[in-house]
């Protein structure tokens, strides 16, 4: 990594709402990172009606009825001053070497626009470990395994753990102002990586608060699905997103299978056989997890957690479509 005199100034940007205990934990970990303190700025944007500024940060409040995550992130960008903008979430704890590992590849590679890092679950149970195997959030075990300990090129940067050059982020237009529910970081990464190189460094580590129940998994992915439909409402190039939704929808695939069985006058119990084969294929595809997690139950439970996530994703997509039906048509 780069020596201290070569390290650039960094602004760490966090948005938050109603999670001050978690935020305090995140800020303590950021304050303890091994990085020159005179080159480190922390910006917190909070949606709240009762402001309470944490010590030692640039603190900005917004009313609770704000315009969503994307708008809050843009506010944090506008309030920042550093040449490198690092992002993490209020429910994360960062590793002591986190910033050096994020910033180092940017110092050593002037043509690189952004760097993403690895995300490990914080105090995980079975559900949290399963999500880690599935790769959520961006930087999870699937990405760590693919990197094999090396810094590799990527098109996926997630604001739970990434950094951009300020100039490049602003040239890309920042976070899309119409993205409210989710996907703002995906759209930014897509815009940046279309023109510039970005890297994934598995040694830039944050620990993300793990989910302890399937309901939380469902709700999170429901919002992702709702966000995808939201994006269809404002993107000019919708074809790629429609293809992505069609390829990724488990509900559509099973509905298609049901239709084929019905048209062929076959016993619908065949769908149970298809589901069993699908489950087995997923278990086989996640076998790499056993190199990192010796708990065999994780390997067998991960496809079930994936099913809950996919169900939430499809439910969010349907809900998002219903939200866009004119009210007069719903009567």
Residues 280-285: what's their mean pLDDT? 93
126: confidence class by pLDDT, cuts 50, 70, 90:
very high
Residue 90: phi and psi, rounded to 5, are: -70, -15
Residues 252-259: what's their mean pLDDT? 78
Q: Which residues pair with 44 in a beta bridge?
A: 14, 59
What pLDDT does residue 165 have? 98
What pLDDT does residue 64 have? 60
Which residues neighbour 118 within 8 Å (Cβ) at sequence distance 6 or greater?
139, 140, 143, 144, 161, 201, 202, 203, 204, 205, 206
Helices 296-323, 126-134: inter-axial angle, 10-degree rounding: 70
Q: Annotate the chain with three-state secondary structure.
A: CCCHHHCCCEEEEEEECCCHHHHHHHHHHHHCCCCCHHHEEEEEEEECCCCCCCCCCEEEEECCCCCCHHHHHHHHHHHCCCCEEEEECCCEEECCCHHHHHHHHHHHCCCEEEEEEEEEEECCCHHHHHHHHHCCCCCCHHHHHHHCCCCEECCCCCCCEEEEEHHHHHHCCCCCCCCCCCCHHHHHHHHHHCCCEEEEEEEEEEEEECCCCHHHHHHHHHHHHHHHHHHHCCCCCCHHHHHHHHHHCHHHHHHHHHHHHHHCCCCCCHHHHHHHHHHHHHHHHCHHHHHCCCCHHHHHHHHHHHHHHHHHHHHHHHHHHHHCCCHHHHC
What pLDDT does residue 260 have? 81
30-34, 103-107, 134-138, 311-315: least confidently modelled range:
134-138
What pLDDT does residue 245 have? 77
Q: What is the pLDDT of residues 68-118, one digit of tens each?
A: 788 899 999 999 999 999 999 999 999 999 999 999 999 999 999 999 999
Q: Can you give the residue ranges of every domain in the chain?
A: 4-211, 215-330
Residues 32-61: what's their mean pLDDT? 94
Q: Are 270 and 254 in contact (CB under 8 A)?
A: no
CATH class of 4-211: alpha beta
CA pair distance 120, 136, nearest whole angstrom: 9
Q: Which residues pair with 112 in a beta bridge?
A: 197
What pLDDT does residue 18 have? 85
Tell me how crowded residue 22 is: count the other CB atoms within 10 A of its CB. Answer: 16
CA pair distance 134, 289, nearest whole angstrom: 9
User: Which range scores top for mean pLDDT: 65-79, 157-171, 214-228, 270-284?
Assistant: 157-171
What pLDDT does residue 1 have? 59
In this prediction the pTM is 0.89
Which residues neighbour 285 within 8 Å (Cβ) at sequence distance 6 or greater?
none
Share of the chain above pLDDT 90, in %: 61
What pLDDT does residue 251 have? 80
What pLDDT does residue 8 have? 96
* Mean pLDDT of all residues belonging to the chain: 89
Q: How far is CA 211 from CA 83, 101, 141, 278, 293, in A?
A: 34, 26, 16, 25, 17
Q: Are 208 and 155 in contact (CB under 8 A)?
A: no
CA pair distance 257, 278, nearest whole angstrom: 12
* Peptide bond between residue 237 and the one before it cis (omega within 30 degrees of 0): no
What pLDDT does residue 328 have? 44
Residue 283 has pLDDT above 50, yes or no: yes
């Amino acid at each position: 990594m780069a020596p201290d005199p070569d390290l650039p100034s960094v602004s760490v940007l966090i948005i938050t709402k109603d999670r001050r205990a978690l935020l305090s934990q995140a800020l303590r970990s950021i304050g303890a990172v091994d990085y020159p303190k005179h080159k480190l700025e922390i910006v917190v944007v909070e949606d709240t009606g009762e402001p309470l500024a944490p010590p030692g940060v640039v603190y900005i409040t917004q009313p609770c009825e704000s315009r969503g995550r994307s708008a809050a992130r843009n506010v944090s960008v506008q309030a920042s001053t550093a040449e490198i903008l690092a992002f993490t979430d209020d429910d994360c704890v960062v590793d002591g070497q986190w910033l050096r590992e994020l910033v180092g590849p940017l110092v050593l590679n002037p043509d690189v626009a952004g760097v993403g890092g690895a995300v490990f679950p914080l105090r995980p149970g079975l559900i949290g470990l399963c999500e880690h195997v599935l790769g959520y959030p961006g930087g999870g075990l699937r990405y760590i395994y693919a990197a094999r300990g090396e810094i590799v090129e990527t098109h996926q940067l997630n604001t739970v753990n990434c950094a951009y050059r300020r100039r490049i982020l602003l040239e890309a237009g920042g976070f899309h102002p119409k993205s409210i529910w989710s996907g703002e970081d995906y759209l930014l990464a897509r815009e940046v990586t279309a023109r510039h190189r970005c890297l994934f460094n598995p040694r830039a580590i944050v620990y993300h608060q793990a989910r302890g129940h399937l309901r939380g998994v469902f709700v999170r992915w429901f919002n992702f699905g709702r966000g995808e439909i939201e994006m269809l409402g404002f993107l000019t190039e919708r074809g790629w997103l429609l293809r992505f939704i069609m390829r990724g929808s488990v509900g559509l695939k099973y509905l298609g299978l049901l239709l084929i069985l019905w048209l062929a006058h076959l016993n619908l119990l065949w769908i149970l056989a298809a589901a069993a084969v699908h489950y087995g294929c997923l278990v086989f595809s996640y076998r790499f997890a056993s190199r990192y997690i010796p708990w065999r139950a994780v390997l067998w439970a991960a496809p079930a957690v994936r099913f809950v996530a996919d169900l939430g994703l499809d439910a969010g997509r349907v809900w998002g479509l219903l939200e866009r039906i004119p009210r007069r048509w719903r009567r």
